[in-house]
Amino acid sequence: MSAALSPVRPAVRVRGAGLAFGRRTLWSGLDLDVEPGEFLAILGPNGSGKSSLLKALLGMQGLSSGSVEIAGGRPGGANRKVGYIPQQRAIDDALTLRGVDLVGLGLDGHRWGPGLFGHGARRRRVAEAIEAVGATAYARQPVGRLSGGEQQRLRVAQALVGDPSVLLCDEPLLSLDLAHQRAVSELIDRRRREADTAVLFVTHEINPVLSFVDRVLYLVNGQFRIGKPDEVMNTEALSELYGTRIEVLRVGGQIHIAGAQSALCEEEPHHHEQEVAG
């Protein structure tokens, strides 16, 4: 996966990137290449700047320093092949938009739009994306009446319908039960295996995706560590990052973190959880 050895252009290239709000630096000096098909988990406590990094890659947030390149271009371009699963917000149960309409929104601004392919091709593409996430049975119902897990599958379809080469996911498992966590993470993993889509996956809990993760970017208080899960998720590396003693245990294929709980977010409820549709 080393950029120096790889002949393939990285899907994401970050060089000397820094982001500060006022006098608070979220992160700085960030260098990162994400290869096509790679699954990168982005971890860190609340407020460490995980979502802001995705927003910088989307062109929704300017950097204070450095540069980013995504899908071969600058962030924010209309034709960039970038899929985005935003952090879940409650969908108003009065919303009459149907699943097919929601997924169709993922084509707007892409080269697959009706201008190029006509309505028939567009409809087929939306139907295929919905089928791929197993949401066909409820895709014609108003989104607001679906369960959180059903809505989340449709969000995944919306992010994938434009055939992205990079997929940015912001806590896509939040509020899902274990079965749906597994279903959604397997969908995302299958996409990167079948289409070589690079996945940048923000999460406060690594275990549901641990078997898929190639590398971890762990952000804490302006510091970060990048490496394979075992290189980052260990007692020494995390204690150094947090600046306090953290115990990392591997039990039954899972990673458990103990220590200064106040410094960690892994075991704590997420502060957006209240806003999420059930």
Query: Under the rule (CB under 6 A), what is the footprint of ligand ATP?
Result: 21, 26, 44, 46-52, 204, 271
Interacting residues of 191 by C-beta distance below 8 A, sequence separation 6+: 160, 167, 197, 199
In whole angstroms, the minimum distance from the beta carbon of 43 to ligand ATP comes to 9
**Cα 228 from Cα 102, distance rounded (Å):** 35
User: Hey, what amino acid is at 96?
Assistant: T
Please answer whether residues 106 and 159 qualify as being in contact, where contact means their C-beta atoms are separated by less than 8 angstroms: yes
For ligand ATP, give the closer residue by CB, 140 or 271. 271
In whole angstroms, the minimum distance from the beta carbon of 132 to ligand ATP comes to 28
Interacting residues of 72 by C-beta distance below 8 A, sequence separation 6+: 9, 165
In whole angstroms, the minimum distance from the beta carbon of 26 to ligand ATP comes to 5
Please answer whether residues 226 and 6 qualify as being in contact, where contact means their C-beta atoms are separated by less than 8 angstroms: no
For ligand ATP, give the closer residue by CB, 81 or 155. 155
In whole angstroms, the minimum distance from the beta carbon of 252 to ligand ATP comes to 26
**Cα 45 from Cα 49, distance rounded (Å):** 9
Residue labelled with tokens 């406590």: 45
In whole angstroms, the minimum distance from the beta carbon of 196 to ligand ATP comes to 27
For ligand ATP, give the closer residue by CB, 129 or 202. 202
Count CB neighbours of 232 within 10 A.
Answer: 22
Question: Helix (H, G, I), strand (E, B), or coil: what is residue 167?
Answer: strand
